[in-house]
Chains A and B, each alone.
Chain A
Amino acid sequence: MKRRHLLTSGPYLVWMVLFIVVPMAMVVWFAFTDNVTGAFTLENIVRIGDYSNVFVRSIWLGALATVVCLVLGYPLAYLIAKIDPKYQNAIVLLIMLPMWMNFLLRTYAWMSLLEDNGLINNFLALLGLPRVHMINTSGAVVMGMVYNYLPYMVLPLYSVLVKIDGSVIEAAQDLGANRVQVFRRVIFPMSMPGIMSGITMVFVPSVSTFIISKMLGGGGNLLIGDLIEMEFLGNSYNPNLGSAISLVLMVLILISMGIMNQFRDEQEEDGGGVLF
């Protein structure tokens, strides 16, 4: 018996060690060695201090995008969960449909909308309103994140809200709770697992993005992802520094996910359909 599962899962273990564990070990190795001599050094980690403003900006913009997604997504998920079940699947599909288009194309579409001579500004001018400078601002970056990751917030929220038993709400009402109380004391606490997974699913890709900031934020809104890309494929080639930044980003994300998991109930033990 023992040998048989080694036969089936052994090659998988070897594969994952080779292509996940070894590359991660290489990131750690590169992060702590000098890029010329290859000797052990802490300099790469120390140099990250120079880029602390980029880290602060990434976390700030990522958090902002997450909050906007939650504020926009919660009412939407709530509305979908309440409509006639016949139409729910179709509407969920419509929410997911844009995600099947490559995110580069979706972000590109926003470039043509937000430009100084873009469609939104032309429309404003048509109405006699002043033009607004939107492209290459941090607001445009947040908007790009919200546009790309909003479905990641709506779907987990919807899947917990739709499962809430209507009789629980009726019971609360029978016991004299008004609408605000029903929401605050019953619906909201019960949707907590959905809120937590929504927040993680939006925050992680937002913090580590590098294309959205490049396309919509111009050169002035550099994020951690852009920094890493520049060190590996850009003009400031230095994979050692890039590895150090990657390592810090990874630790940052793992810590924030650890914090999130503290809030999550243990009801999702089976670990089944992660990410739909």
Chain B
Amino acid sequence: MNTGKKKTGALGRLYMALIFLFLYAPIVVLIVFSFNDTKTMSRSVWSGFTFRWYARLWEDSMIQQAVWNTLLIAVLSALIATVFGTVAAVGLYRMRGWRKKVMMNLTNFPMVNPEIVTGVSMMLLFVFMAQVFKLGSLGLWSILIAHVTFCLPYVILSVLPKLAQMDKNLYEAAQDLGCPPLQAFRKVVVPQIMPGIVTGMIMAFTLSIDDFVITYFCSGTTQTLPIYIYSMTKRRVSPEINALSTVLFVVILLLLVLTNLHGAKEKKKEAPAR
């Protein structure tokens, strides 16, 4: 929206500042108190500077296990959902009529359904599966299936628009020139829809890392990082949780800065070519 008036008034700037204060104050407080040298486990009385909580975090084997589980599930579910979702998107793209409608509704449903309902419904199935197939209790296997399932729609919906933009003639041209379908797909279609695939994979990865609600119902006794954080908040324990938040926040910030720098560089590279 370009109204000619570029300057934001003082009132507008004050308003934005207040909103940002609201958004960031809790995070700043969380970070500051990760360095709090408290004896009484208080969350809000400052009593000196320490790195103790970071040291303790480093030695906590429960957290290490939780981080390992989280990363393992995130990598596996992102990879599986990306490959599976891309192939499915190609099929969906070719579909027409009521078949396509049914498939698109099936894809959209998990995204509009409340997470908690998806979570408990999967829990019912997994408990049943565990009994029938003698799988023991819920654990990594059920979390993985659940994550692949809720990531799939996001991959499909980021690949489909790229398929729609693609020049169909290229694929046919490749085949006319004697390229077998599978090779034509790999060499002609995949490079064109690559941006969509990458976006889908990143989305799947971050959704998987961050998910609490669905994992909570499908995890049995297995701990992922969000589950572990939840148990920490219930115990009202040490500033260790603040230290953990700080580490995570810094990691996220670094990743964002890196991807943005990379994106800016790509744009610069593209610009002269146009």
Contact = CB atoms under 8 A, between A and B. Distances in A.
Interface of A: 1, 4-13, 15-17, 19-24, 26-27, 30, 72, 75-76, 79-85, 91, 93-95, 97-98, 100-113, 115, 117-119, 122, 147, 150, 161-166, 169-170, 204-205, 207-208, 210-211, 215, 225, 228-229, 232-233, 239, 242-243, 246, 249-250, 253-254, 257, 270-275
Contacts of B158: 273
Given A4-B94, A109-B29, A112-B33, 7 more contacts: A15-B149, A20-B149, A23-B122, A95-B23, A100-B252, A109-B26, A250-B117
Contacts of A211: 212-213, 230
Interface of B: 1-6, 8, 12, 15-16, 19-20, 22-27, 29-30, 33, 42-45, 84-85, 87-88, 90-92, 94-95, 103-104, 106-118, 120-125, 128, 145-146, 148-149, 152, 154, 156-158, 160-161, 164, 206, 210, 212-213, 216-217, 225-226, 229-230, 233, 241, 244-245, 248-249, 252-253, 256, 260
Contacts of A83: 6, 8
Contact of A243 (B87, B120, B146, B154): B120
| Most A-side CB within 10 Å, residue of B114, B148, B252 | B114
A249 B210 contact: no
A23 B121 contact: yes
B12 A101 contact: no
18 contacts: A5-B92, A8-B91, A21-B106, A100-B206, A102-B212, A107-B233, A112-B30, A122-B44, A162-B1, A163-B1, A170-B4, A208-B116, A210-B213, A211-B212, A233-B217, A253-B114, A274-B111, A274-B157
Contact of B43 (A24, A112, A170, A271): A112
B103 A205 contact: no
* Chain A contact residues, majority secondary structure: helix
A79 B26 contact: no
- Give the 10 A-B CB pairs with smallest separation, nearest first: A9-B91, A8-B91, A12-B88, A23-B121, A109-B26, A208-B114, A166-B2, A112-B43, A5-B94, A23-B125
Contacts of A115: 43-44
B112 A72 contact: no
Contacts of B210: 100, 102
B104 A271 contact: yes
A267 B183 CA distance: 37
| Most A-side CB within 10 Å, residue of B23, B26, B110, B216 | B26
Contact of A8 (B42, B87, B104, B117): B87
B124 A23 contact: yes
| Most B-side CB within 10 Å, residue of A72, A163, A229, A246 | A246
Nearest to B6: A84
Given A5-B91, A79-B16, A119 B44 contact: yes
B19 A81 contact: no
A55 to B, nearest CB: 14
B84 A11 contact: yes
Contacts of A101: 27, 245, 248-249, 252
Contacts of A93: 256, 260
A82 B8 contact: yes
Contacts of B29: 109, 112-113, 119
B91 A26 contact: no
B117 A246 contact: yes
A19 B19 contact: no
B131 to A, nearest CB: 13
Contacts of A254: 112
Nearest to A8: B91
Contacts of A169: 1, 3
Contact of B122 (A7, A19, A270): A19
Contacts of B249: 101
A176 B19 CA distance: 34
Contacts of B30: 105, 108-109, 112
Nearest to A158: B1
Contact of A208 (B8, B115, B154, B260): B115
A16 B124 CA distance: 16
Contacts of B19: 72, 76
A193 to B, nearest CB: 15
Contacts of A215: 233
A26 B157 contact: no
Contacts of B164: 270
Nearest to A226: B116
Nearest to B109: A20
B229 A102 contact: yes
Contact of A111 (B43, B113, B253): B43
Contacts of A166: 1-4
Contacts of B4: 166, 170
B117 A30 contact: no
B124 A243 contact: yes
| Most B-side CB within 10 Å, residue of A23, A97, A118, A210 | A23
A121 B108 CA distance: 45
Contacts of B145: 19
